[in-house]
Chains A and B, each alone.
Chain A
Amino acid sequence: MRQVYLDHQSATPLLPEALDAMRPFLTEAFGNPSSLHQLGLRAREAMHHARVQIAALLNAESPEDIFFTSDGQESANLAVKGVAYANQRKGHHIVCSETEHPAVLNSIEFLEKQGFTCTKVKVDRQGFVNPDEVRAVITDQTILVAVHHVNHDIGAIEPVKAIGRIAAERGVPFYVDAEASAGWLPIDVQAFGANLLSFSPHKLYGPKGVGVLYRNKKARLVSILHGGVQEGGRRAGIENVPAIVGAGVAAELALRDMPQRIAHTARLQRKLWEQLQARVPYLQLNGPEPGPHRISTNLNISTEFIEGEGQLLRCDVHGIAVASGSSCVSKSLKISHVLAAIGLNHALAQGNLIMSLGKDNTDEDIDYVVETFAEKVVAPLRAMSPMWDEFERGLIDSAIHPRGQGKSFAAHAATISGKH
């Protein structure tokens, strides 16, 4: 059976070049980079080289502005809490978008319990933040503006340059979560006006267990992990040297191969979306159309009248790895907060599936996915769905292509669950 991996936004395979570079640091070069002998100095030197490679990917002013953590989410915690604590004498107000990753939203929520306040800027139906709305909510008390480069669920590319200019005008540090874009879109922290930017190398063919935080001197930042003076005193704890070395190689190759990776995934993304539409009726794309405003790796779709976990499981049985933002998939039984923010109705959010492409996917993969999805996933699940049946009998209507016949799914669901 063909195996098709379409979950590159969760993790990517490690590059052989990265593994080769890491190997000595898992074996003979085991020194602690804080040690002052040969083994320690070798590890320190290797980390410096990785900082240079990563600074190049981000167009950072200096490799000294690159900090290593355990993961992109830790980087987000450090960016949000570290800037908030460092600036709490100046003010307590944070501005972010409502579709940020939970690492950002939940860090802010934690701070709110300690007296910080937050204004969440709304997004439009495609998931875009309006820079003017950011401008309107910044106050004299604002100490941080946090807006992600690309949304992890729906692939919307945010106007970070415009937002960066506004933050700079008001003298407020600007943090960009680049988890979904690093390695897949050009990043220029100077052009973005970003004072902080974070990502996880395991999303660009590097290893897990390492996160990157870029921070320039204009943003004051205090540590949230205390102990030794690692990472310039910004993060206590021994650095994961092998992973950092691998991250450096992955960043270097991402920069070198970026034009080809973008062109390849963009072509497959278009093909996948066009063919899915042709094969599966009552299908909707969430987020912007493939093109300049959507990252080339992400396709987020809703298939009407069936639920997402069932789709995911059936895909998996046929060798296709995907993700879903359905309420049944989440541990909290809530639909993805991003899908809610763009105003997707509950039933469509439940039928959600996220396919994320990578550099090694092929045309044959796409053909297989389209055929399998139509025949082995959607067809049997619709045959099981009372909603599909009631739609076919004209009792309920489609939200995607309304026929003007029958009541809405939402109204129907409300009636039958009303008695509970």
Chain B
Amino acid sequence: MSDNYTLYNQTVMDHFLNPRNLGDLKDADGVGEVGAAACGDIMKISLKIEDGKIKDARFKTFGCGSAIASSSMATELIKGRSIEEAMSFSNQEVVSALGGLPPVKIHCSVLAEEALKAALEDYLKKHPEMAARVQPKAEAPPA
């Protein structure tokens, strides 16, 4: 028997208790803030983008343990990726990097994906030249 029981696995707990990339980027190139229809949580991701690549990412989250862990993990994963790559980012990647989430908590990782995409959209709106380059991919019909 263990003498320390946790609701989530150790990776999730670690990202919840010691979130990476917490905060706002002062000179962010794209900011996305989304709310979850399901339970009412709110997530905000800001991005620093240079030469078509995500240089830096920060998050703030009003939500449960897995929402905080998901946003922490999502910002870790997307740093260094190109915009095109980031456009096809999926919550599944967050879930596997976290070593799994309880079924009822999968939607919290979806919120992280949505916040990231909202931040990218915000960036592309301000940079139509980039939008033109990535749009064909962005508009590909969903699988």
Contacts and interface: CB of A to CB of B under 8 A. Distances in A.
B43 A333 contact: no
B64 A417 contact: no
A331 B22 contact: no
Interface in A207-251: none
Nearest to B40: A346
B34 A417 contact: yes
B61 interface: yes
A420 B13 CA distance: 28
A384 B61 contact: yes
Nearest to B103: A331
A251 B128 CA distance: 74
B1 interface: no
A313 interface: yes
Contacts of A331: 104
Contacts of A328: 39, 41, 63-64, 67
Contacts of B65: 309-310, 313
A386 B68 contact: no
Nearest to B72: A384
A383 B44 CA distance: 13
Contacts of B13: 313
A317 interface: yes
B62 A420 contact: no
Interface string B60-87: 1111110110000000000000000000
Interface residues of A, number: 30
Interface string A401-420: 00000000000011011011
Interface string B28-64: 0000011111111111100000000000000011111
B22 A384 contact: yes
Given A307-B64, A309-B64, A333-B104, A384 B39 contact: no
B19 A384 contact: yes
Nearest to A346: B40
A329 B40 CA distance: 12
Interface string A333-375: 1000000000000110010000000000000000000000000
A400 to B, nearest CB: 16
B140 interface: no
A389 interface: yes
Given A310-B16, A313-B16, A413 B61 contact: no
Most buried by A among B43, B61, B63, B104: B63
Contacts of B37: 417, 420
Contacts of B19: 384
Interface in B91-113: 104, 107
A88 interface: no
B17 A386 contact: no
Given A331-B104, A416-B34, A417-B35, A387 B42 contact: yes
Nearest to A331: B104
A327 B33 CA distance: 20
A385 interface: yes
A306 interface: yes
A184 interface: no
A205 interface: no
Contacts of B41: 307, 328, 350
30 contacts: A305-B62, A306-B62, A307-B63, A307-B67, A310-B63, A310-B64, A313-B65, A328-B41, A329-B64, A333-B38, A333-B39, A350-B40, A383-B22, A384-B22, A384-B60, A384-B68, A385-B60, A385-B61, A386-B33, A386-B61, A386-B62, A387-B62, A413-B42, A414-B35, A417-B35, A417-B37, A417-B42, A420-B35, A420-B37, A420-B114
Q: Top 6 closest A-B pairs, CB basis?
A: A417-B35, A328-B64, A386-B60, A309-B64, A327-B39, A386-B44
